[in-house]
Chains A and B, each alone.
Chain A
Amino acid sequence: MTDTSDQPRRVGVVSSAQTPWRQAWSGAQHIDLISSAVHRALEGSGLRIEDVDFVIDSGSDVLDGRSISNCGFLGAMGAHHKEESRVEDDGLWAALYGVNKIASGAADVGLIIAYAKPSEAEIDLFHSTIADPFCQRPVGLDEATANGLIAQQYLQRHRLGEEVLARITAQAWSRAAAAGKLDGKAPGVDEILASPMAASPLRQAMMARPVDGAVAIVLAGESVARRASRCPVWVTGMGASMDSGNFARREPGLPACTAAARRALDRAGARGNAAGIVEMSATSAATELLTLEALGVAEAGAAADAYLDTGVRRINPSGGALPAYPVFATGLVRLAEASDRLVAGEGNGQALVHATSGLGAQSHCVFVIES
């Protein structure tokens, strides 16, 4: 199995599966959601659990309310007597680990798993705990207030009104509905603007909606990928970058996101960002816009136009994270969605996939994938 060549091997996404994303999966435990995603991801590939060399999973002890929570899910993840590791960050960082492991030649097939069940936790408190060490006391800074500050700065700089955030939100939900991914009804612009204030200018409906569920992705080295999939999607570039923990010290415009995208695109040998499909993550309509600009998908202040224009490239055709934010699984869902669309022949054969984590989009991970 060990490869003797010095060059990193090509790694492909062979298949993926997601549970439906729901506000609350009250009738299913974590292990039920995880095993369902794992089972169906393998089912689509012709590979069996015995063919999987390793499992890398992502999740949060704090969200799960349990130390070393991966240990409780090893059976459901199919990790018994396999190599396993836990990345406590968004699942796209788990995929980055898996790609490296296969690229090194040490393994052929890896299973990447991410899940979340925020319905069993207090999600606002979860976000507040991330801010605790920065502030050394519970000052109430959380994801909504951090995004509110970012939104104010963005709207003022570009002389935009709050309705642009409402239009983005409405569009995200209607795309999710069109993609058959909603367990409820998509709200309209008026309804969004009438929802209670979360952190001015952000209304509650403009914040990403936490959902329960699980996602699993099968990665494989080139030779296995070609056998297991009629159309493998290749990971051609990866980049990541984390900004300062000090929220007030960060430069505006998510420079860490730009740095992550630049690394990924450079690695893919891409001149500029021409990906036909962009699947990106955000915790509010405001960071959704900032992220598009930081990724180089839109000019400064023009993200809303790029987002709403469905002509040239498709931005978050799945609806993205606003209607469905499974916390630590959000970025891995983006990889699954973008891969599915490349397999279906959509776009120009290249997609940009983005994940973020930390308070107010502190850390970023970007993949370039190609069919």
Chain B
Amino acid sequence: MNHVAIAGVGQTHHQRRRSDVNVPGLAREAAQRALDDAGLTMEDIDSVIVASGPVLFAAVNEPEKWLVDALGARGKPVVRITSGGGTGFAGALAGYYQVAGGFADRVLVVAYDKLSEGALQYSISSLYDPFWGRDFAVGIMGFSAAYWRARMDALGHTEEAAARVVVKNLANARRNPYAHVRKDVTIEDVLKSPPLAWPIKLLDVPPISDGAAAVVLTTEKLAAKSKAPPAIIRGMAYCAEADNAPMRSMLMSEPLAHAARTVYRAAGITSPRRQLDVFEVQEPYSCFELSYYESLGLCAPGGAAELIASGATQIDGDIPVNPSGGCLGANPIGASGLIRLIEAALQVTGRAGDHQVPGARLAGAQTGGGWANLRGLAVVSSD
């Protein structure tokens, strides 16, 4: 099978509200940066993938039909992938297979969300209809709180464990020029912040952001001619769990464990904590980063609270997680999964700037979406 490389990356400086650009302007900004990074123009691109969160987020139906002109993609194949919060990653996966399957040599993947323009939690609430057959204004927070509460009850984990994730990620976000949350917080601050859906509190919640991200994916051979040092994708998968809630584990993300098995096998990884140098994960709330540690095999099941307390996942720890600050630093949802992949690529090519993990050569990028039932993982390397 042909390996696929990330030959160029770009992202916007994410903000709470970008009123200076519209949606196509925002997407174009990231696309242009990715093309510049790769030393390419749209002429060189065979195919375009657009990815955004559910269209109700920005209240524009079939937005790719609108973006095509701003991207300079008129006449090229353009298609949109949408898979909940992990959609940016899912878009990259579709592009990955366009290259690996021989449909295209160079694919531009553009992911974005302009959350300042829509009613976010209202849009998310509409996904509960199939459970209840009626409008059920719960958003995603109550559902996520139930997951965290189950882990607290069964594993004895405390609110403090999740607070440590917040403190770590916000400290890292200060080193990342693309993140927009600039806050110094302590564990105490997190614990004392107002509960929104207990045990989730205000400071456990990522910001709402406007932002876009883009990558150029190419064959490994073409990437060798790229301007930027390429990152090679060693394995990539995005897995689902059906909606029948009673069958689902509240303690462990089974679709993520499934994706991890597939990707680790493809990448030849048998001991993830030892072999991988750094992880970027998409944590929609602080507590999810903890359950990911376990599904990704960074610690034994139930061991996440201990792992974060040990300092191992700090930027100077033995397995740093979210040196970019993760979603807590910036969260343009539809782009967030692709930003994780971009950050992983920057790490293995030594281009992550102030949040670079020294000597990183092998990185994991995790993603998630839906009602915690869509989970993905990619492993990228420097060679």
Contact = CB atoms under 8 A, between A and B. Distances in A.
Interface of A: 2-8, 55, 60-62, 65-72, 74-75, 79-89, 93, 96-97, 99-106, 126, 129-130, 132-134, 238-246, 255-256, 259-260, 357-359, 362-363, 365
A2 B266 contact: yes
Given A133-B66, A244-B74, 13 more contacts: A67-B126, A68-B127, A80-B242, A83-B259, A85-B93, A86-B83, A88-B55, A100-B102, A130-B65, A134-B66, A242-B74, A242-B75, A357-B62
A87 B242 contact: no
Contact of B55 (A62, A79, A83): A62
B111 to A, nearest CB: 13
Interface in B240-269: 240-244, 254-255, 258-259, 262, 266
A260 B374 CA distance: 32
B127 A72 contact: yes
B240 A80 contact: yes
B329 interface: no
Interface string B78-117: 1111111000001001100110111100000000000000
A106 B68 CA distance: 30
A55 B240 CA distance: 10
B69 interface: yes
Contacts of B55: 61-62, 88
B121 to A, nearest CB: 11
Given A85-B90, A126-B61, A246 B69 contact: yes
B371 interface: yes
Contacts of B1: 2-6, 104-106
Contacts of B186: none
B152 interface: no
A80 B126 contact: no
B101 A75 contact: no
Given A72-B130, A104-B97, A67 B56 contact: yes
A102 B83 CA distance: 20
B240 A242 contact: no
B101 A130 contact: no
26 contacts: A7-B102, A61-B55, A62-B55, A66-B126, A67-B54, A67-B127, A68-B127, A81-B242, A82-B239, A84-B83, A84-B238, A84-B374, A85-B238, A86-B90, A97-B94, A99-B101, A106-B97, A126-B61, A129-B62, A132-B60, A133-B23, A240-B47, A241-B77, A245-B66, A363-B65, A365-B77
**A102, A242, A243 — most chain B CB neighbours (10 Å):** A242
Contacts of A68: 54, 82-84, 127, 369-371
A245 B2 contact: no
A71 B239 contact: no
B366 to A, nearest CB: 15
A6 B66 contact: no
Contacts of A55: 240
B84 A83 contact: no
A133 B25 CA distance: 13
Instruction: Label chain B's interface by main secondary structure.
Output: mixed
A100 B101 CA distance: 4
Interface of B: 1-2, 23, 47, 54-57, 60-69, 73-84, 90, 93-94, 97-98, 100-103, 123-124, 126-127, 129-130, 237-244, 254-255, 258-259, 262, 266, 369-371, 373-374
A70 B374 CA distance: 11
B101 A8 contact: yes
A105 B101 CA distance: 8
Contacts of A243: 68, 74-75
A49 B249 CA distance: 22
B178 to A, nearest CB: 26
B52 to A, nearest CB: 9
Which 6 residue pairs spanning A and B have beta carbons closest together?
A: A100-B101, A240-B77, A104-B100, A8-B102, A72-B130, A103-B101
A6 B75 contact: no
A285 B354 CA distance: 60
B65 A74 contact: no
Contacts of B56: 61-62, 67
A68 B76 CA distance: 26
A353 to B, nearest CB: 15
Given A61-B54, A104-B100, A238-B103, A132 B243 contact: no
Contact of A74 (B77, B78, B242): B242
A110 to B, nearest CB: 11
A65 B126 contact: yes
Contacts of B80: 87-89
Contacts of B126: 65-67
Nearest to A240: B77
Contact of A93 (B74, B79, B370): B79
Nearest to A104: B100
A96 B78 CA distance: 12
A133 B61 CA distance: 8
B60 A242 contact: no
Contacts of B241: 74, 80-81
Nearest to A101: B97
Contacts of B93: 85
Contacts of A83: 237-240, 259, 262
Contacts of B97: 97, 100-101, 104, 106
Given A86-B82, A100-B98, A71 B374 contact: yes
Nearest to B84: A68
Contacts of A365: 77
Given A61-B56, A67-B56, A82 B240 contact: yes
Contacts of B100: 100, 103-106
A71 B371 contact: yes
B65 A240 contact: no
A81 B255 contact: yes
B76 A75 contact: no
A101 B101 contact: yes
B101 A88 contact: no
